[in-house]
Structure 1
Amino acid sequence: MGILVQEDKGLFHLQSAGMSYILQLVNDYPAHVYWGKKLRSGSNLEGLLNLGGNRGLDRLPQEYPQYGTGDFRTPAYQVRLEDGTRITELKYSGYRVVEGKPSLPGLPSVYVESAQEAQTLELTLKDDYAKLSVILRYTVFEHTNVITRSVEFTNAGETQLRLQRALSASVDFSSGDMDMIYLAGAWSREGNLTRRRLVQGGTTIGSRRGMSSHQLNPFAALVKPETDENHGEAYGFSLVYSGGFEAEAEVDSFGMTRFTMGLNSFDFAWLLEPGEQFQTPEVVMVYSSEGIGEMSRTYHRLYRTRLCRGLYRDKERPILVNNWEATYFNFDADKLESIAAEGAKLGIELFVLDDGWFGKRDADNSSLGDWVEDLRKLPGGLSDVAQRVNNLGLQFGLWFEPEMISPDSELYRKHPDWCLHVPGRRRSEARWQLVLDYTREDVRQYIYESLSRIFSTVPISYVKWDMNRCLTEIGSAELPSERQGETAHRYVLGLYELLERITSEFPHILFESCCSGGGRFDPGMLHYMPQTWTSDDTDAVERLKIQYGTSLVYPVSSIGAHVSAVPNHQVGRITPLSFRGDVAMSGNFGYELDLTKFTDEEKELVKEQVANYKQIRSLVQQGNLYRLQSPFEGNETAWMFVSDDQREALVYYFRVMAVPHPPRRSLKLNGLNPELDYILEASGEVYGGDRLMQAGLALPDIQQDFVSGCYKLKVQE
């Protein structure tokens, strides 16, 4: 188990409980040999790499390929030397095996809690002419089919080197007969599952927006054409990073597929002075031989327990009500208290005050950066509102957008150079705001002081950290001309530094990331904030797709999901409160509406929903997710949550539109123990686990649109 090295054969075998990843030195180039189901050591593994004679680098399945020496496929890196040339050639220099998993300086990453959980292989490669030293870092986990990869560059010479491309991982597959799965979309329709057959040429996804983006998530999977939710091989790649990224699957003329992932090379450059180092973000690679679903559950377990951190990592998350869609900017302390009071009667645990409490923020065109209470709206300040909420028995939460600045703000009038900008160029506004330059220490210090002042004086237990626009005019007044290409990455590093400082100093606060919804739903943010506002679209029908797609890689404990008013504010659809509740209860549950406007009947239903979620939330947030029917493939959606011991399960079924004279339907379940008998709570009927998975659970015939059902199963004692 772990890392097995056969030095005489140049063979490195990374082995987990059910997976092997093998690489071998070929003329001092690390070559990719195998990634798949676990292989026994000593099974003539060196014979797996069938090169068929000297075919050159263009046929060699490399671990970290370069350009310019005979390989014409996508390179993993490129370096410009001081004389202007771009040719480098990395050769093997040595290795070491480290128990556990080292952290990455300045970057979020997956971690271990004991050295026995994982082993790390560090391969050192060198270009003696350029004086470039590179460490390829691989960590393999003992009990889960996961490998993490990252790269460290060092300028070991006496002249400058300039990185122009620095990806985190490259894997060469022997076959081109594969599909690529990724998550596409836009603002308010994030997480759309997209599956595309690979053909000769490149299939590329990425973001040049300075954030991971609504449009394309930093995740992709390569699967066999026959692979589905429960069968076949799947290879997942997830980048632990919150800025611009790229991922490409390139099928060459020989039918091989090269997959690469890392920082987006567009507009990227990093100057390495003599002795300086550069660390790439981490790619988390997951192998599954049991379909896409098992790949997802592997990511869920890993990210929930070894990426997320802090007091709330393993705790049940509170049920909240947020005032945004209830009041927008038009509120006072009495109105906020009235919503919180109604929430307290219904069993809600947390009240969140959203945008509009600071500066002179009566609309979204001013005051970002002026993080001081608006005493016109709140004469007693935040402390008064928080005390009123606490007196009702609820926790108090607050919205911020700390990375932004409004041109109409006291901060901008005092520091117009504190935003990202290029001298002499116009400053593109989006939503009447600009982006603060987080590459600057003085900017980060100002935000730290502004937020910590509030966190230290107001009883806040939850913070929604928002970001509502992409980066443009990406330049910094603080950086010299030769380092302007570093601005976008330095922005992300500055953000991580601030988040580490803030979250460490205020560990009692539950932080939720938001970026106009899911524009920065990525593993990098989850390292600091264990949950994310999944999308600004709260329509229950749209959320079926958004939450289903997001669950491909992200755990349910990270997926924020709220019930909102109807007609829905994004699409105008009217759906039943029961349907909206069942969709939202499939994530971190809450409400985003004016509870005081509910009828008595609606309040009773909300009270039931809240009480029900308190009974099931540990299973929803910590259980194993099985997707049963996809909203991308039809009119019906279904998923279920199963406890680790398989003794408890919760099934959700949704049908969007009614179907005239439908056939009798049964829903085949998954993840149960076929040898155990389960009681259906609603009826008391007993079913065998094998029966539920092979024959299914009968569904009622209800003739109306927007039907949902929740089925609780427990093992018969």
Structure 2
Amino acid sequence: MKKLFVLLMALSMLAQINAQEKKIFRISTDNTDLILQVAPNGRLYQSYLGDKLLNEQDINNFSYAVKGGSDGSVSTRGWEVYPGSGAEDYFEPAVAITHYDGNPSTIFRYVSAEQKEVKGGTETVINLKDDQYPVEVILHYIAYPKENVIKTWSEIKHSEKKPINLWRYASTMLYFSNTNYYLTEFSSDWAKEARMSTQPLMFGKKVIDTKLGSRAAMHAHPFFELGLDQPVQEQQGRVMLGTLGWTGNFQFTFEVDNVGNLRVIPAINPYASYYELKANEIFSTPEFIFTFSNNGTGEASRNLHAWARNYQLKDGQGDRLTLLNNWENTYFNFNEELLGELMKEAKHLGVDMFLLDDGWFGNKHPRNDDHAGLGDWEVMKSKLPGGIPALVKSAKEAGVRFGIWIEPEMVNPRSDLFEKHPDWAIHLPNRETYYYRNQLVLDLSNPKVQDFVFGVVDNILTENPEVAFFKWDCNSPITNVYSPYLKDKQGQLYINHVRGIYNVLNRIKDKYPNVPMMLCSGGGARCDYEALKYFTEFWCSDNTDPVERIFIQWGFSQIFPSKAMCAHVTSWNKNTSVKFRTDVASMCKLGFDLGLKELNADELAYCQNAVANWKRLKSVILDGDQYRLVSPYDGNHMAIMYTAPDASKAVLYTYDIHPRFGEKLFPVRLQGLDAKKMYKVKEINLMPNKNSNLAVNEKTYSGDYLMKVGINAFTTNQTHSRVIELTAE
């Protein structure tokens, strides 16, 4: 046995040595292999992307993925990892450069590579260089084995005599060879976020992009699902989930070529972004994050959720605060005394924090509606004579924490800030100004503006270190697209503006690493994994109608864990019960945005009990494995569940949306349980003096039975919900 082990180790080492000699790079998770290889022409090609190979020596068997010419010669066309423009490839390039002498072609050849351990995985770094011009690209790949996630990005730099111009700059390029491809995309608008639709990819290009600059994901979200050989399904089939970490204009290009192969190209949108790169400056592309599954989107989503909590999401392993927000209760109409009463309501409800929304600032231009005050981050004395210190004190006396809303990237023309610094706003110098929501976007490419925006948070926390939370909003896309600061470099505005936002967020995170922040953008128009390095959560939508929220939260859950998704109980759609509204919000990070005076005694008691149950079970809901059981897109019901990693506890949510009269109901088959364990089933979140009519309530079943046979949890009632707790005995 020992001799056999030594022989296998020797063969493995020999395979690795051969791979190194052949310049083969294996980027691996526990389930996926991405294999890159340097051809004799010195260029880097993708040899394989698929299920992990079991035998190390097999990686030497791949060809260079270089096509032969029709005359028998060897062509350089093939699955090049980072192809440049202007050479022999007929399809979309990963990078396009105009050199200082006007030459529009770039061909990168291999120089060196290294692998190193990083938190959670292994990083592969590959250096490529143009052999005619001093231009380099550094390709980065981080493979997270346990989560089956790969993150990749590129860096471009040069030492030419003069600046070069970049007019395309992808994060990576991936190739597929399958019989069919099906794209599931996520379209959006205000109050209509994360709407899912699927289409086949045929010959030619399908492009998903945005051109909104700041509130960039308002019409399309920066993630997708790719079904290989068949449309994506929840529990079976080969799928890829991909998402780009970029808070600005993005572009996904899906190109099916003349022989049926697919290229996937994730990138910053080059629209109006002709970037002048100076010598020795590094242009870093956004991170592209992707995962594969042979068992449908459910498993792929769980991969991303676990990866996000472990490595990307701010405080991904930490707790989350339940809250009561005042916005839909008071809007702009409040004072110090009223807020003090609402803080007591927050305590009475049982949540952790009171969140003060818009309307607390501005004196010369008071913020009593959305026409004035943005930019003047001083407390409005007429409303709040004691300032933020008095509010923090009141919250403390009430027994809750205090959070506050800001929108620091924006300015109203009616503000002290705009009167003093009109050149700080993005606006055209010689045309009539268009105002989206009566405001303009501050020019974050300007370092002085970055200092100002950082100061909004810094000043509040310096004066009030006990402020526990920020809701950071961004209600306007970039319009009137001109930067007074960049002057003759307008092609860099969209990119430098987003980089300026990151500079600010980095400074905040460095100085205040433990302050949680909610990412909001007129609803869910900011939802990417770069921003979520700085924010603990994001606001999915201003639409809190629970029926609509079922679809919105289902869509976002494809990519993001429940811990990152905020959901509030509000007065939207009062035709539904408070129970239904609360149960829908409870599948994510729970909050409330209504006044307790709206509730009768039973409704209040129900909400208090629901908050207590959510807090008791939040380790399962926020950190457990999510299983989407019944899709709202498939009919009139929805079911989703969370299971603790050790399968000792689970929480099942079922929703009857608008059942048809007399329709046939099917049992809900659970997932993620231990087949050998016995589970007690208990319906929770019941209205006072109401008993459960769930037939299996308080009974015990094996995990095997619950997963194969299931439970009859659906009803024919309109907008009806159940929350069911399962406990292993």
- What's the TM-score once normalised by structure 1's chain length? 0.93
Counterpart of 1:143 in structure 2 is 146
Counterpart of 2:56 in structure 1 is 41
Q: Does 1:364 align with 2:370?
A: yes
Counterpart of 1:429 in structure 2 is 435
Structure-to-structure mapping, 1:407-556, within 5 angstroms:
407-458=413-464, 459-481=466-488, 483-556=489-562
* C-alpha distance after superposition, 1:215-250 (max 9, x if no partner): 111112221215421112112221111110000111
The alpha-carbon deviation at position 4 of structure 1 amounts to: 5.5
Structure-to-structure mapping, 1:185-200, within 5 angstroms:
185-200=188-203
The alpha-carbon deviation at position 52 of structure 1 amounts to: 6.1
2:292 to 278, 287, 292: 287
Q: Does 1:249 align with 2:254?
A: yes
1:302 to 303, 307, 319: 307
1:688 to 699, 702, 719: 702
Q: Matches of 1:294 and 1:162 in 2, distance apart?
A: 42
Counterpart of 1:620 in structure 2 is 621
Compare 546-555 and 504-513 and name the one that shifted more.
504-513
Alignment CA distance shift 1:276-1:4 (3 Å) = farther
Q: Matches of 1:599 and 1:4 in 2, distance apart?
A: 70
Structure-to-structure mapping, 1:325-336, within 5 angstroms:
325-336=328-339
- State the one-letter code of the partner of 1:593: L
Q: Matches of 1:79 and 1:453 in 2, distance apart?
A: 43
SS across alignment from 2:62: helix
**Aligned-residue CA RMSD in angstroms?**
1.9
Q: Does 1:650 align with 2:656?
A: no
Counterpart of 1:103 in structure 2 is none
Alignment CA distance shift 1:678-1:472 (3 Å) = same
Structure-to-structure mapping, 1:73-472, within 5 angstroms:
73-100=91-118, 112=119, 117-175=120-178, 177-211=180-214, 212-224=216-228, 225=230, 227-310=232-315, 313-359=316-362, 360-458=366-464, 459-472=466-479
- State the one-letter code of the partner of 2:217: S
Q: Does 1:61 align with 2:64?
A: no
Q: Does 1:586 align with 2:601?
A: no
The alpha-carbon deviation at position 160 of structure 1 amounts to: 2.1
Counterpart of 2:691 in structure 1 is none
C-alpha contact 2:655 2:714 (8 A) present in aligned 1? no
Q: Matches of 1:600 and 1:685 in 2, distance apart?
A: 30
SS across alignment from 1:188: coil
Q: Matches of 2:16 and 2:518 in 1, distance apart?
A: 41
Q: Matches of 1:374 and 1:402 in 2, distance apart?
A: 16
- State the one-letter code of the partner of 1:17: D
SS across alignment from 1:681: strand
Counterpart of 1:599 in structure 2 is 600
C-alpha contact 2:46 2:65 (8 A) present in aligned 1? no
- State the one-letter code of the partner of 1:167: A
The alpha-carbon deviation at position 10 of structure 1 amounts to: 2.9
The alpha-carbon deviation at position 417 of structure 1 amounts to: 0.6
* C-alpha distance after superposition, 1:455-509 (max 9, x if no partner): 122231011000001012333222241x221111111111111111113222342
C-alpha contact 1:4 1:14 (8 A) present in aligned 2? no
Q: Matches of 1:676 and 1:550 in 2, distance apart?
A: 32
The alpha-carbon deviation at position 12 of structure 1 amounts to: 1.5
Unaligned 5+ runs, structure 2: 1-11, 684-696
C-alpha contact 1:210 1:470 (8 A) present in aligned 2? yes
Counterpart of 2:711 in structure 1 is 697
C-alpha contact 1:654 1:709 (8 A) present in aligned 2? yes
Alignment CA distance shift 1:426-1:57 (3 Å) = farther
Q: Matches of 2:398 and 2:65 in 1, distance apart?
A: 71
The alpha-carbon deviation at position 450 of structure 1 amounts to: 3.2
SS across alignment from 1:23: strand
* C-alpha distance after superposition, 1:428-452 (max 9, x if no partner): 2111100011111111212222331
Counterpart of 2:89 in structure 1 is 71
SS across alignment from 1:461: strand
The alpha-carbon deviation at position 639 of structure 1 amounts to: 0.5
1:30 to 22, 44, 48: 44
Alignment CA distance shift 1:537-1:664 (3 Å) = closer
Alignment CA distance shift 1:50-1:469 (3 Å) = closer
Q: Matches of 1:505 and 1:140 in 2, distance apart?
A: 30
The alpha-carbon deviation at position 57 of structure 1 amounts to: 6.1
The alpha-carbon deviation at position 415 of structure 1 amounts to: 0.7
- What's the TM-score once normalised by structure 2's chain length? 0.92
Q: Matches of 2:455 and 2:65 in 1, distance apart?
A: 60
The alpha-carbon deviation at position 270 of structure 1 amounts to: 1.8
C-alpha contact 1:440 1:494 (8 A) present in aligned 2? yes
Compare 505-514 and 556-565 and name the one that shifted more.
505-514
C-alpha contact 1:57 1:71 (8 A) present in aligned 2? no
The alpha-carbon deviation at position 333 of structure 1 amounts to: 1.4
The alpha-carbon deviation at position 554 of structure 1 amounts to: 0.7
Alignment CA distance shift 1:700-1:169 (3 Å) = closer
The alpha-carbon deviation at position 58 of structure 1 amounts to: 8.3
Q: Matches of 1:294 and 1:700 in 2, distance apart?
A: 24
SS across alignment from 1:582: helix
Counterpart of 1:677 in structure 2 is 678
SS across alignment from 1:519: coil
Alignment CA distance shift 1:493-1:57 (3 Å) = farther
C-alpha contact 2:116 2:124 (8 A) present in aligned 1? yes
C-alpha contact 1:183 1:193 (8 A) present in aligned 2? yes
Unaligned 5+ runs, structure 1: 101-111
SS across alignment from 2:68: coil
* C-alpha distance after superposition, 1:497-551 (max 9, x if no partner): 1111113222342111100110011111110001001110010000001000001
C-alpha contact 1:638 1:654 (8 A) present in aligned 2? yes
SS across alignment from 1:321: strand
Alignment CA distance shift 1:197-1:578 (3 Å) = same
Q: Matches of 1:557 and 1:149 in 2, distance apart?
A: 24
Q: Matches of 2:35 and 2:623 in 1, distance apart?
A: 33
SS across alignment from 1:42: helix
Structure-to-structure mapping, 1:3-22, within 5 angstroms:
6-22=19-35
C-alpha contact 1:11 1:46 (8 A) present in aligned 2? no
C-alpha contact 2:395 2:402 (8 A) present in aligned 1? yes
SS across alignment from 1:374: coil
C-alpha contact 2:667 2:712 (8 A) present in aligned 1? yes
* C-alpha distance after superposition, 1:39-82 (max 9, x if no partner): 02102543355656346768512211222222111111100122
Alignment CA distance shift 1:374-1:201 (3 Å) = same
Alignment CA distance shift 1:385-1:274 (3 Å) = closer
- State the one-letter code of the partner of 2:144: F
Q: Matches of 1:650 and 1:99 in 2, distance apart?
A: 36
C-alpha contact 1:154 1:278 (8 A) present in aligned 2? yes
